[in-house]
Amino acid sequence: MSESPNFDRVALIGIGLIGSSIARGVRKMGLAKEIVCSARTADTRRVALELGVVDKAFEHSEDAVKDADLVIFCTPVGTYVKIAEEIAPHLMKGAIVSDVGSVKQTAIDQIEPFMPEGVSFVAAHPVAGTEKSGPAAGFAELFYKRWCIITPSKTSSEAATARLSAFWTALGSDVEVMEARHHDLVLAITSHVPHLIAYNIVGTADDLEEVTQSEVIKFSAGGFRDFTRIAASDPTMWRDIFLTNKDAVLEMLGRFTEDLAALQRAIRWDDGDALFQMFSRTRAIRRQIIDAGQETGEPDFGRAVKPGSDT
Amino acid sequence: MSESPNFDRVALIGIGLIGSSIARGVRKMGLAKEIVCSARTADTRRVALELGVVDKAFEHSEDAVKDADLVIFCTPVGTYVKIAEEIAPHLMKGAIVSDVGSVKQTAIDQIEPFMPEGVSFVAAHPVAGTEKSGPAAGFAELFYKRWCIITPSKTSSEAATARLSAFWTALGSDVEVMEARHHDLVLAITSHVPHLIAYNIVGTADDLEEVTQSEVIKFSAGGFRDFTRIAASDPTMWRDIFLTNKDAVLEMLGRFTEDLAALQRAIRWDDGDALFQMFSRTRAIRRQIIDAGQETGEPDFGRAVKPGSDT
């Protein structure tokens, strides 16, 4: 099936990093006649209009969704119920409603029950982002060669799923369709637990008495620096992710701490062989991620200087 | 005091990422009349000579150190005792011996007792690196604007400490002098524990049955990717670091797991306020690291594409 990725009016609820990146991509690829958004704060609406990423910016989401044939929730998962309730009476018959949240079963449970007859809800998750927030942080290429996971549910018609797939493909993504619960498990280990750990180590370092904060900052190039990047991500969004993907996160976290206890024991008992074995096998995974195009093979040392230009 | 950073013959024991980066820096800045190295494997010696980063490459370290007025250990900490014993009878009177290891009290304990009368041992740690290994991975700018921590001990004469500081300054580093035990504590939290955690999460992900390895790789852009970079670091080097900085690592790891247990509890009991508070305060630290020049503020999304070039 070759469904069209084009829409008349795309309405983005929220215009932060992801919302504004979608808006830019839609504009760049000519996927909509009109792009509108809603945002609660006047300043955000002003910035979005000034940047020219949307044609209109509304305070209330119900105004944005009018006449929209594609509506995308680009707000933290914790806002879904309230917004779904607000927009439901104003949705156009035949509209597709989607989201970009990092937890999919909750998105379905919270949005789908409010959808009126004739509206298809199709949950989606573009696995892309940076540690920046806000409408100015977005860019059209954010989704390019990144995976977008679509998790259809009860009200997702086949045609709507196909159109949303075509839409994300047009934005440059590779699309994968998956069951929502499985998505939540995969993301718990590839995204949610890594973020929790990064937040945690940065917090631990901040609390030390023997080592000053200025020392932590000065000598961060030894590895710590990379964790702070992740730990700079939007706090509201991540709070909601942990609260809504609780079971999968706790399950994966349990495994992580078990494994960490084993490593800790190997250190305590001078088991160099166990450490070496563990450290060797993780190298192979890195190689595969680079081969899969999800990362460059360039060494990263915290600044943009071309290495290797000398003898 | 303004000691000269220049030497007649710099001997590098080991010519991997760090050794070959020093060699390139010394060459570029004209800090030595002759640069030699030793490396056990013929292939490494061949590559180092072919790259032109050293003038001579020896199989045995005792041959490299002859007539050298600066000798630097650039091998994993686990090799220090054997090499110190081997080179001791061949060291020139007045020579400065140093190292680049990530654990400083052990470096002092293992190398200093072998140093003959008239030789100054001055331990040092350039806090810089990439996840790559081997002589071809090095580059002269690796140490530029990175900290080099010098931890003088019993046999470090003031003049030797000042000359080594001048040497690292000439390579582009900012030098900080610190007590060895304090260095080991600072690095435990800014480098060693972050590496252990990265190795661990990559291992945990690799062991899952519910999530396939190909899924972990595909969807790694959600955060996991950044950990695999760190977990691709040299296994031998890192085994030795954990075995030789055991006490500080176990202490910091204990605090980390305690803090993680608190976050886990907040998730289990839906304590969104505690999560939000924790996630907010870690953002500030990131800002300070960027301000301190230890990282660029550019968003990292795993590939070299200029964001923001469109509307």
Q: What is the pLDDT of residues A165-180, one digit of tens each?
A: 999 999 999 999 999 9
Q: What is the mean pLDDT of chain A?
A: 92
Give the DSSP letter of residue A243: H
B-chain residues near A287 (CB < 8 A): 232
The three-state secondary structure class of A31 is coil
Q: Does A265 touch chain B (CB under 8 A)?
A: no
Check CB contact under 8 Å for B224 and A200.
Answer: no
Amino acid sitting at position A290: I
d(CA B12, CA B56): 10
Q: What is the pLDDT of residue B283?
A: 83
The predicted structure's pLDDT at residue B301: 53
Cβ-based contacts of A252 with chain B (< 8 Å): 204
Residues of chain A positioned with their CB less than 8 A from the CB of B145: 303
Angle A58-A63-A65 (CA atoms, 0-180°, nearest 5)?
Answer: 105
CA distance B177 to B182: 11
Residues on chain A touching B20 (C-beta within 8 angstroms): none
**Touching check for A195 and chain B: CB below 8 Å?**
yes
Listed residue (A201, A267, A265, A254) closest to B194, CA to CA: A201
Q: What are phi and psi of B177, to 5 degrees?
A: -100, 135
Subunit contact B276:A308, Cβ cutoff 8 A: no
How is residue A36 written in tokens? Answer: 């509108």
Has residue B200 got a pLDDT over 60? yes
| Residue B278 near residue B262 (C-beta atoms within 8 A) | no
Res A130: pLDDT: 82
Residue B31 DSSP class: -
Would you call B189 exposed, middle or buried from its count of C-beta atoms within 10 A (0-12, 13-18, 19+)?
buried
pLDDT score, position A300: 59
B216 within 8 A of A189, measured Cβ to Cβ: yes
pLDDT for the residue numbered B305: 43
Q: Regarding predicted confidence, which is higher, A281 or A115?
A: A115
Q: For all residues of chain B together, what is the average pLDDT?
A: 92
Is A2's Cβ below 8 Å from some Cβ in B? no
Hey, which residues 105-144 in chain A have their CB within 8 Å of chain B? 127-132, 137, 139-142, 144
Q: What's the pLDDT tens digit per position in A71-97?
A: 999 999 999 999 999 999 999 999 999
Helices (H) and strands (E) in chain A, counts: 13, 8
pLDDT band of A3, cuts 50, 70, 90: confident
Q: For residue A306, what pLDDT band results from cuts at 50, 70 and 90?
A: very low
pLDDT, tens digit, for every residue of A210-250?
Answer: 888 889 988 887 788 888 888 888 899 999 999 999 999 99
Using alpha carbons, select from A134, A133, A131 the residue that is nearest to residue A50: A134
Mean pLDDT of B80-107: 97
- Are residues B281 and A244 in contact, defined by beta-carbon separation less than 8 angstroms? no
d(CA A228, CA B300): 12
- Determine, for residues A276 and B225 on separate chains, whether the beta-carbon distance falls below 8 Å: no
Query: From CA A152, how far away is CA A138, in angstroms rounded?
Result: 26
* Cα within 13 Å of Cα(B270), Cβ side: 2
| Cβ–Cβ below 8 Å for B197 and A260 | yes
Q: Give the SS3 label for residue B34.
A: strand
Whether B302 contacts chain A with CB within 8 A: yes
* Mean pLDDT across B3-14: 96
**B238/A contact by beta carbon, under 8 A:** yes
- Is B252 part of the contact surface with chain A (CB cutoff 8 Å)? yes
Name the closest residue on chain B to residue A48, using Cα atoms. Answer: B311
Task: Give pLDDT tens digits for B61-73.
Answer: 999 999 999 999 9
User: Chain A residues with CB inside 8 Å of B177's CB?
Assistant: none
Q: How far is A130 from chain B (nearest CA, A)?
A: 6
Which residue in B31, B113, B16 sits closest to B73, CA to CA?
Answer: B16
If 0-12 CB within 10 Å is exposed, 13-18 middle and 19+ buried, where does residue A295 land?
Answer: buried
Q: Which residue of A has its CA nearest to B299?
A: A130
The CA-based diameter of chain A, rounded to the nearest angstrom, is 68
Residue A146 reports pLDDT greater than 50: yes
| Chain A residues closer than 8 Å to B308 by CB | 139
What single string gives the DSSP state of each residue in A107-157?
HHHHHGGGPPTT-EEEEEEE----S--SGGG--GGGGTT-EEEEEE-TT--
Q: Which residues of B touch A140 (CB under 8 A)?
A: 310
| Test the A interface: residue of B176, B179, B197 with most A CBs within 10 Å | B197
Name the percent of chain B lying above pLDDT 90.
77
Distance of CA A271 to the CA centre of its chain: 39
What was the ipTM of the complex prediction?
Answer: 0.86
Mutate to test the interface with B, among A102, A247, A301 (most CBs of B within 10 A): A301
- Would you call B198 an interface residue with chain A, using a CB distance cutoff of 8 Å? yes
Phi-psi region of A121 (alpha: psi -120 to 50; beta: other; left: phi over 0): beta
Hey, is the C-beta of B304 within 8 angstroms of any chain A C-beta? Answer: yes
Decide if A289 touches B, using CB distance below 8 A: yes
Pairwise CA distance, residues A179 & A162, whole Å: 16
Question: Would you state the pLDDT for residue B308?
Answer: 37
Residue of A nearest to B143 (CA): A301
Q: Which of B141, B190, B249 is the closest to A267 by Cβ? A: B249
**Closest CB from B187, B206, B218 relative to A292:** B218
Instruction: State the number of CA atoms in the 13 A half-sphere of B201 facing the CB.
Output: 31
The pLDDT tens digits for A151-161 are: 999 999 999 99
* Residue B298 structure tokens: 């550019």
**Would you say B77 and B101 are in contact if contact means Cβ atoms under 8 Å apart?**
yes
Largest distance between two CA atoms of chain B: 68
- Domains detected in chain A: 7-178 (3.40.50.720), 183-291 (1.10.3660.10)
Task: Round to whole Å and give the CA distance between A244 and B229.
Answer: 29
Residue A308 pLDDT exceeds 60 = no
pLDDT at A307: 40
Query: CA-based Rg of chain A, rounded to a whole angstrom?
Result: 22
Residue A11's pLDDT is: 98
pTM above the 0.95 mark?
no
> Hey, is the C-beta of B265 within 8 angstroms of any chain A C-beta?
no
**Pairwise CB contact (< 8 Å): B311 & A24:** yes
Q: Is the pLDDT of residue B15 over 60?
A: yes
Q: Which residue has the higher pLDDT, A202 or B301?
A: A202
pLDDT at A139: 95
Query: CA–CA separation, B13 vs B267, rounded Å?
Result: 50
B227 touches chain A (CB under 8 A): yes
pLDDT digits (tens, 9 = 90+) for A40-54: 999 999 999 999 999
Each residue's pLDDT tens digit, B24-59 = 999 999 999 999 999 999 999 999 999 999 999 999
In degrees and rounded to multiples of 5, residue A300 shows phi and psi of -115, 120
Angle subtended at Cα B175 by Cα B38 and Cα B57, rounded to the nearest 5 degrees: 10
* CB-CB under 8 Å, B203 with A281: yes
Is residue A1 pLDDT above 60, yes or no? no
Write the CA distances from B183 to A27, A159, B127, B135, B189, integer angstroms: 52, 61, 11, 27, 10
pLDDT at A272 over 70: yes
